[in-house]
Amino acid sequence: MAEEFTIAPIRRLLKKAGDLRINEDAANALRECVGEYGSKIAEYAVKYAQEDGRKTVLERDIWKAVEEVWMPESKDAEERKQGIIVCVL
């Protein structure tokens, strides 16, 4: 199940991208996407930590999960790197 985020940080995120008015449906759509992606990244990160026999999720688990969730079909390392950069920005 996806994590629910409050709308205020989502609106701030949209405002940072461009100083426009933000439709409520648009903010809710982004909130849903962030929740879905965040939950999936967390799921993979926990899996990677457990596979390594750890009880702690490390930064490398998060980045590995981001690669898996963000661009799973990409086999090209440079393309995956670009996907991560886009995600971070």
CATH of the domain at 50: 1.10.20.10
Instruction: Name the residue range of residue 60's domain.
Output: 7-88
What are the tokens at 9? 């940080």
Q: 């799973």: which residue's tokens?
A: 72
pLDDT the model gives residue 85: 47
Which candidate, 27, 45, 31, 44, places its Cα nearest to that of 3? 31
> What does each of the 89 residues of the chain score in pLDDT, given as a tens digit?
567 788 999 999 899 988 889 999 999 999 998 899 899 999 999 999 999 999 999 999 999 999 888 776 655 556 555 555 455 44
For residue 72, being part of any structural domain is answered with yes
In a domain, 33, yes or no: yes
State residue 88's pLDDT score.
47
